[in-house]
A and B are shown apart, each in its own frame.
Chain A
Amino acid sequence: MKAKTLPEVIRAFDPMHPLTGQELQEWYIDRPGNPLERIKIYLQGLALANEPVKLLFTGHVGSGKSTTLNKLAEELKRQFLIVPFDARQSLSIADLSYVDLLLGMATSLFKRATEPDVLGKAPSQIATDVWTDLTGFIEESIFGPTHFRPAPAEAEASVKVSLLTAEFQTKFAKEATTRDQVRKWVEPRLAELQDKIDYVADLVQVHYKRPVLFFVEGTDRPDLSVARALFLEHGYSLTAFRTSAIYTFPIGLRYSKDFNSIKDYFTETFMLPNLKVANPDGTPHPEGLACLISAIQARLTTGLLADDARDHIIRASGGLMRTLVRLTQRAAVNSLAAGGAAIALPHVEAAIKEERADFVAGLSRDDYPILYERYQDKQVSADEAVLRLLQTRALLEYANGDPWCDVHPIALPLVLERAAPSLQD
């Protein structure tokens, strides 16, 4: 439902949550260069034909990746058993390792498979044998010598698996010593873990009639060095099982020299492009602008946002969906706090000023000349500094055609102001 008042605008433009459920149906906007259909072709063409695929999915933080994956899940839920796994919720992102990831994926699969709608469809003897086997596997090959709370002996076999996986995920996320112990114990037994993933996935396919598809989110968020270790040094392990999987991937690593080696492990890489608000030469990009207008209009009724205010938000967002959402929310807050009933240009300007203060706080003096050079040449490169600025969104990348980059429109006045003296020299 569209917002009809400013308080409703504040609720509808929420930068904290990706779209789900009813909002996903009503507010999701397709965009030029959206890889959704191409991802579906890979999954429906290959994975459904028993040729598992491993995909990387990348885009700027706040570009709409989580919402796009929610949309994909919605469209594929009748063809696949989707096992979502969010590394951000279950693991320690700061020291994320490939063993953690595989353990998280495996335990999420085991847990999902114990739900009555899935392996409950298997003949009862088969199901009991599977769960008994998995209980032993979790106790001996995952926990090993690590202290854990065993499932009650009298519990049903499937309940034991469910309880043990929950126990594992909680302990593993919260306790650093448990993480260390389990990693050391599981690392030499990884082949066994991958076999178990395949074994349970095969059973799901036979009895539930749908292949397993992992959605692994949060793997685009660790430090670049952690991400490099994950995807480059252990790309093989992340792709060795037979099940299909989509991993989110850091945009900074996409342009690093290592990417050529990383991509060999994976079937394909897809990028969710930022919406273009302008072309490299600075002329407006009508298609991108129209799309961003639709994204705003889908959520609010006319009259709440003046056209010039709306256009200002769109230009300032740089095509980043979360920035667009936040600017609109803050402009609505500004208007309401000033006693207004609609958003006008000054409310947006105040919101932009606040957003700009973030760049003032976050950018170092050395960043400005680099940003100014990229503003001039628009070239994406694999330099560490450029990768970092892409990661922090001071630089925005635009794909859909030859990739190019530009300074975030909100940071641009700062870059021009602070790089100017060196230009005059």
Chain B
Amino acid sequence: MADAPLAALEKLQGQLPPHLARSDLAELAVLLRYAERGAWAFAIYNTVPVRDEVAEVLRQLLAPLPIYEFNLSTQQPNPLTFLETLPTAQERAIVFFFDLEQTGGAGWGYLEMQRENLAARPLGLVFWINRPAWAEGVRTAPNFWSQRSGVFDFTINSPAVLSEVRGAWAGQPVQLDSPADWERQFRLFSGLLREYEDEQAPPAAQAELHGKIAYLLNFADRQAEAAAHLQQQLELARQAHDRRQQVEAMNNLGWTTQLQQGRAAALDWYRQALAAAGSDRRGRADSLRNIASVLFREGQPAEALSMLHEALDLFRAVGDRLGEANTLKAIGDVHNFRKDLDAALASYAQALDLFRAVGDRLGEANTLQAIGDVQRFRDENDAALASYAQALDLFRAVGDRLGEANTLKAIGMFNLEQNQVEEALKLLEQALQLYQQIGDRVGQANIYWNLGLHLAQQSDLKQAEPLLAQAVALGQQIAPNHPVILHWLTVLEQVQSQLSTETGKS
């Protein structure tokens, strides 16, 4: 095997699990590698983890050919729509289309109709389908089907292997290290959930998947969908008498509720979770930490701190290093709020070490940003900027837009204070766009407020007034008559009054 992909495959074959080390994998790689004018291939699977494993191996084998992935759905059933978003129509590339089965038949209709358009592109199109979809394709898109180069079989026939592979993947934790991870894991866990539902798998196993999907949806700021999955997780966990999952679902429902309806409603869920946890130390620790976060924000830092220390002991007792790291970060936040900066930095430093040790890049980014805030407060500006820069890189790497926006805002505000207005405006504008994309009104209001205030302080009242007005308007929508918003309103009224006096004078 002189050819690079083949040589790589040969090397890889020995390392692949038996269910992947099969001739269809090598054959599909060869076809995609050499069909330079493009080819259409169908890859048959009966479990999504294997689909993703094969896709991953192909990515390695076909490098440096660009590989794109698209998920089809009833909302987006047309493959051509995706192809039209590719960088250039004439670039050779491989495109994986997932979930053609989920288009309600419309996907096949588009393929049949648009095959000449598809054939005009030098693309290796791989359609991942299950067996029922195979029969549907042969019948409903006969002409498209007749132009295919081949069908490649990745189904697993042994029920024992199938169950083992599914179980291994369903048990994987959610790990978000890049934006592509989100897509892949959402596809994987959603697909596994469909398979589990079809086969009426035990409720506890289905509940786990609902929980993971909810986590991913929350991360993507799709709280309403996340809440629906968490409710299902809770219901299934109750059926299975799985206390750990019930507590987990309640705590996470608290978090989505907090984002949607505020802290008071969230507190109910957290308290229910604490009650349900009973002697389950990890569940208890999670619930205590969540209750503490609400109390802290409601102005009860002492109570919060005491609960956080209780939670910390529990996490340490069960050896949960991620829980420990998160709690240390929260303790640092309380110290920071009380301006006990040495204690805050000490907690953050411990948290940072733990996040790095467990490989949680998002936790690492959040902690670095908090460290940057403390350093700024202490006027250790170079150190603060260095911490922010590290945090920004990590947020971008994991695709956390809210974290990215918060850090951009922090750096932008720093520049504004240093009177580096042009650089500041650029960063704040980027942050504002991200907040708008996410729909984070608090972030937007803060930026308008800070910009407006800066301009007012520079006596540019005319430019300041509309920004302050926008901040107040958003603030009143989010938290009507909140003391902070009332303060903003007072400042706005002062600016407006001064403006009208100046207008009167002129």
Interface residues of A (CB under 8 A from B): 7, 10-11, 14-17, 61-62, 86, 88-89, 92-94, 218, 221, 322, 326, 329-330, 333-334, 336-339, 350, 354, 357-358, 361-362, 391-393
Contacts and interface: CB of A to CB of B under 8 A. Distances in A.
B6 A334 contact: no
A330 B6 contact: no
B36 A392 contact: no
B203 interface: no
B235 interface: no
Interface of B: 1, 3, 6, 10, 23, 26-27, 29-31, 33-40, 109, 112-117, 119, 131, 134-135, 138-139, 142-143, 145-151, 153
B134 A16 contact: no
Nearest to B33: A7
B138 A17 contact: no
B138 A362 contact: yes
A-B residue pairs, 8 tightest by C-beta: A362-B138, A337-B26, A10-B34, A361-B135, A7-B34, A337-B27, A361-B134, A89-B116
A172 to B, nearest CB: 13
B115 A88 contact: yes
Given A62-B147, A362-B135, 8 more contacts: A11-B36, A16-B149, A17-B119, A86-B116, A88-B114, A89-B114, A329-B150, A357-B153
A339 B7 CA distance: 10
23 contacts: A7-B3, A10-B30, A10-B35, A11-B34, A15-B146, A15-B149, A16-B39, A62-B147, A92-B113, A93-B112, A218-B116, A221-B112, A221-B143, A326-B148, A333-B27, A333-B150, A336-B34, A338-B26, A357-B151, A357-B153, A361-B131, A361-B138, A392-B142
Q: Which of A337, A358, A393 has its CB near the most chain B CB atoms (within 10 A)?
A: A337
A169 B62 CA distance: 37
Given A16-B149, A338-B26, A358 B138 contact: yes
Given A7-B34, A10-B30, A333-B27, A15 B143 contact: no
Contacts of A357: 151, 153
A392 B135 CA distance: 12
B151 A354 contact: yes
A353 to B, nearest CB: 10
A358 B145 contact: yes
A108 B240 CA distance: 65
B37 A333 contact: no
Q: Which of A89, A326, A333, A358 has its CB near the most chain B CB atoms (within 10 A)?
A: A333
A354 B131 CA distance: 14
A179 B151 CA distance: 36
Contacts of B149: 14-16, 326, 329-330, 333
B37 A16 contact: yes
Contacts of B112: 93-94, 221
A10 B88 CA distance: 24
A336 B37 contact: no
A14 B117 contact: no
B34 A16 contact: no
Contacts of A218: 116
Contacts of A62: 146-147
A16 B138 contact: no
Nearest to A340: B1
Contact of B147 (A11, A16, A392): A16
A16 B38 contact: yes
A16 B119 contact: yes
A337 B147 contact: no
Contacts of A326: 148-150
Nearest to B138: A362
Given A322-B147, A357-B151, A393-B146, A337 B134 contact: no
Contacts of B34: 7, 10-11, 333, 336
A217 B24 CA distance: 35
Contacts of A338: 23, 26
B37 A14 contact: yes
Contacts of A337: 6, 23, 26-27, 29-30
Contacts of B119: 16-17
A10 B146 CA distance: 17
Given A362-B135, A392-B142, A15 B31 contact: no
A330 B146 contact: no
B147 A15 contact: yes
B35 to A, nearest CB: 6
Contact of A61 (B10, B131, B142): B142
A330 B117 CA distance: 23
A334 B6 CA distance: 12
Contacts of A358: 138, 145, 151
B209 to A, nearest CB: 29
A218 B135 CA distance: 24
A10 B36 CA distance: 9
B501 to A, nearest CB: 52
A392 B151 CA distance: 17
Given A10-B34, A16-B149, A357-B151, A94 B109 contact: yes
Nearest to A350: B23
Contacts of B29: 337
Contact of A88 (B23, B30, B116): B116
Contacts of A15: 146-149
A221 B114 CA distance: 12
A329 B39 CA distance: 11
A88 B134 CA distance: 23
A88 B116 CA distance: 7
B139 to A, nearest CB: 6
A334 B113 contact: no
A326 B1 CA distance: 23
Contacts of A322: 146-147
Contacts of A333: 27, 30-31, 34, 149-150
Contacts of A94: 109, 112-113
B58 to A, nearest CB: 13
A326 B185 CA distance: 35
Nearest to B145: A358
Nearest to A18: B119
Contacts of B1: 339
Q: Which of B34, B37, B135 has its CB near the most chain A CB atoms (within 10 A)?
A: B34
A209 to B, nearest CB: 31
A217 to B, nearest CB: 9
Given A94-B113, A334-B23, A337-B6, A10 B31 contact: yes
B76 to A, nearest CB: 15
A330 B147 contact: no
A330 B138 contact: no
A89 B117 contact: yes
A326 B147 CA distance: 8
Given A16-B147, A221-B143, A339 B138 contact: no
Contacts of A362: 135, 138-139
A61 B37 contact: no
Given A89-B117, A337-B27, A61 B151 contact: no
A358 B138 CA distance: 7
A334 B171 CA distance: 36
B113 A88 contact: yes
A94 B30 CA distance: 35
A89 B119 CA distance: 11
A61 B143 contact: yes
A392 B21 CA distance: 34
Given A329-B149, A361-B131, A392-B142, A11 B27 contact: no
